[in-house]
Amino acid sequence: MTTISQILVELSQQGIEVWVDNNNLLYRAPKGAFTPTLRAKISENKTEIVTLLQQQNQQSALSRLPEIVPNPEGRYQPFPLSDMQQAYWLGQNDSFELGNLSPHLYVEFEFAELDITKLNLAVERFIVRHEMMRAIILPDGQQQILERIPNYDIEVIDLRGKDPQIVTSTLAETRARMSQDASKTNNCPLFEVVAYQVNERCIRFHISLSLLVFDGGSLKLLCRELPLLYQDVNTYLPDLEISYRDYIHTLNNLQNSDLYKRSQQYWWNRLETLPPAPELPLVKSPGTVSHPKFVRRTAKINADIWQKLKDKARRLGLTPSGILCASYAEVLSNWSRNSHFILNLLYTNRLSLHPQVNNLIGCFSSTLLLEVNNSLPDTFAARAKRLQNQIWNDFEHSHISGVQVLRELNRQRGGTSRAAAPVVFASSLDARDKETFTQGRVADPIFACIQTPQVWLDHSVMENDGACVLFWDAVEELFPEGLLDDMFNAYQSLLSRLALEESAWQQTSFQMLPPSQLAQRIEVNATQASVPQGMLHTLFANQVSKRLESLAVISSDRILSYSELYTRSNQVGRWLRQLGARPNVLVAVVMEKGWEQVVGVLGSLQSGAAYLPINPSLPKERLWYHYVSSRLWR
Q: Would 333 be classed as within a structural domain? A: no
What's the total number of domains in the chain?
3
φ/ψ of 457, rounded to 5, equals: -140, 125
Beta carbons within 8 Å of 332's beta carbon, 6+ residues apart: 278, 280, 341, 343, 372, 423, 487
What's the rounded Cα separation, in Å, for the pair 455 and 92? 11
pLDDT band at 22 (very low <50, low <70, confident <90, very high): low
Q: Would 25 be classed as within a structural domain? A: yes
pLDDT of residue 534: 67
Distances (CA, A) of 485 to 28, 296, 510, 514, 528: 42, 11, 17, 10, 32
Find, among 507, 276, 287, 293, the residue nearest to 381 by Cα.
Answer: 507
Considering the domain architecture, whether residues 123 and 143 belong to the same structural domain is answered as: yes
Q: Would 12 be classed as within a structural domain? A: yes
Where is pLDDT greater, at 522 or 586?
586
pLDDT of residue 62: 44
Q: Is the pLDDT of residue 5 over 70?
A: yes
Considering the domain architecture, whether residues 78 and 57 belong to the same structural domain is answered as: no
pLDDT band at 622 (very low <50, low <70, confident <90, very high): low
Q: What is the mean pLDDT of residues 27-56?
A: 78
pLDDT of residue 633: 36
In sequence order, the β-bridge partners of residue 586 are 610
Find, among 148, 135, 150, the residue nearest to 188 by Cα.
Answer: 135
Considering the domain architecture, whether residues 588 and 567 belong to the same structural domain is answered as: yes
pLDDT band at 533 (very low <50, low <70, confident <90, very high): low
- Report how many helices (DSSP H) and strands (DSSP E) the chain contains, helices first: 19, 20
Considering the domain architecture, whether residues 120 and 213 belong to the same structural domain is answered as: yes
Q: Which domain holds residue 599?
A: 536-633
Q: What is the pLDDT of residues 539-572, one digit of tens each?
A: 788 888 888 888 888 876 688 889 899 999 999 9
Q: What is the mean pLDDT of residues 130-147?
A: 95
Find, among 295, 296, 314, the residue nearest to 306 by Cα.
Answer: 314
Q: Is the pLDDT of residue 63 over 80?
A: no
pLDDT of residue 549: 84
pLDDT of residue 277: 94
pLDDT of residue 628: 57
pLDDT of residue 432: 37
Considering the domain architecture, whether residues 223 and 141 belong to the same structural domain is answered as: yes
pLDDT band at 440 (very low <50, low <70, confident <90, very high): very low
Q: What is the mean pLDDT of residues 169-185?
A: 84
Q: Would 440 be classed as within a structural domain? A: no
pLDDT band at 58 (very low <50, low <70, confident <90, very high): low
What's the rounded Cα separation, in Å, for the pair 97 and 147? 36
Diameter of the chain measured on Cα atoms: 89
The answer to whether the Cα torsion of 76, 81, 82, 84 is positive or negative is: positive
Where is pLDDT greater, at 144 or 429?
144
pLDDT of residue 441: 38
Considering the domain architecture, whether residues 7 and 88 belong to the same structural domain is answered as: no
Using DSSP's 3-state secondary structure scheme, residue 559 falls into strand
Q: Is the pLDDT of residue 429 over 90?
A: no
Rounded to 10°, the helix 320-335/303-315 angle is 90
Q: What is the pLDDT of residues 183-222, one digit of tens each?
A: 667 778 899 999 999 998 899 999 999 999 999 889 889 9
Q: What is the pLDDT of residues 290-323, one digit of tens each?
A: 889 999 999 999 999 999 999 999 898 898 999 9
Q: Is the pLDDT of residue 522 over 90?
A: no
Q: What is the mean pLDDT of residues 59-87?
A: 86
**What CATH number does the domain containing 577 carry?**
3.40.50.980
Instruction: Indicate the residue among 231, 258, 284 that finishes a domain.
Output: 231
Neighbour tally for 415: CB within 10 Å: 9
Q: What is the pLDDT of residues 412-422, one digit of tens each?
A: 877 666 788 99
Instruction: Indicate the residue among 207, 231, 255 that finishes a domain.
Output: 231
- 505-539 burial code (b ≥16 CB/10 A, e <16): beeeebebeeeeeeeeeeeeeeeeeeeeeeeebee
What's the rounded Cα separation, in Å, for the pair 206 and 190? 14
Q: Would 581 be classed as within a structural domain? A: yes
Neighbour tally for 441: CB within 10 Å: 10
Considering the domain architecture, whether residues 43 and 146 belong to the same structural domain is answered as: no
H/E stretch holding 26 = strand 24-28
pLDDT band at 394 (very low <50, low <70, confident <90, very high): very high
Instruction: Indicate the residue among 202, 231, 260 that finishes a domain.
Output: 231
DSSP per position, 344-383: EEEEE----SSTTGGG--S--EEEEEEEEE--S---HHHH
Q: What is the mean pLDDT of residues 445-454?
A: 89
Q: Is the pLDDT of residue 480 over 90?
A: yes
Round the average pLDDT of the chain to a whole number and report it.
86
Considering the domain architecture, whether residues 159 and 108 belong to the same structural domain is answered as: yes
CB 52 within 8 A of CB 7: no
pLDDT of residue 112: 84
